[in-house]
Amino acid sequence: MSTATETKPQSSTLASTLSSKGMLIGGQWVESASGARLAVENPARRAPIAEVPRANAADVERAVAAGTRAYADWRKVVPRERGKALLRIAEALQARSEELARTIALETGNALRTQARGEANMTADIFRYFGGLASELKGETLPLGEHVLSYTRREPLGVVGAIIPWNAPVMLAALKIAPALCAGNTMVLKAAEDAPLGVLLMAEICQQFLPTGVLNVLTGYGEECGGPLANHPGIAKLSFTGSTEVGKIVMRAAAERIVPVSLELGGKSPSIVYPDADQDWAVDGIIAAMRFTRQSQSCTAGSRLFLHEDIFDSFLGKLEKKTTALTIGDPLDEKTDIGTIINNKQFTKVCRYVDEGLRRSDARLVFGGLPPRTGPLSEGYYALPTVFADQSNDWRLAREEIFGPVLVAIRWSDEAAAIRMANDSHYGLAAYVWTHDIGAGLRTAHAIEAGWVQVNQGGGQVPGMSYGGFKQSGIGREFSLEGMLDSFTQRKSVTVNLAV
Residue 72 zone, left/alpha/beta (φ > 0; ψ -120 to 50; rest): alpha
Residue 305 zone, left/alpha/beta (φ > 0; ψ -120 to 50; rest): beta
Active-site positions read 264, 299
What gap in Å lies between CA 103 and CA 241, rounded to an integer?
21
What gap in Å lies between CA 494 and CA 499, rounded to an integer?
16
Q: Would you say 295 and 328 are in contact if contact means Cβ atoms under 8 Å apart?
A: no
Q: Would you say 182 and 481 are in contact if contact means Cβ atoms under 8 Å apart?
A: no
HSE (CB half, 13 Å, CA atoms) of 492? Answer: 8
Q: Would you say 152 and 492 are in contact if contact means Cβ atoms under 8 Å apart?
A: yes
Cα–Cα nearest to 39, from 170, 193, 144 = 193
- Residue 380: phi, psi to the nearest 5? -130, -175
Instruction: Kindly give, in sequence order, each residue whose CB lies less than 8 Å from that of residue 157, ignoring residues fewer than 6 positions away.
Output: 183, 185, 236, 237, 260, 488, 489, 490
Q: Would you say 52 and 200 are in contact if contact means Cβ atoms under 8 Å apart?
A: yes
| CA-to-CA dists, residue 412 to 390, 431, 484, angstroms | 11, 16, 40
Instruction: Please tell me whether residue 18 adopts helix, strand or coil conformation.
Output: coil
Residue 94 zone, left/alpha/beta (φ > 0; ψ -120 to 50; rest): alpha
Which residues does residue 52 pair with via DSSP β-bridges, in sequence order? 38
| CA-to-CA dists, residue 8 to 44, 102, 330, 331, 343, angstroms | 10, 13, 8, 10, 19
What gap in Å lies between CA 327 and CA 475, rounded to an integer?
37
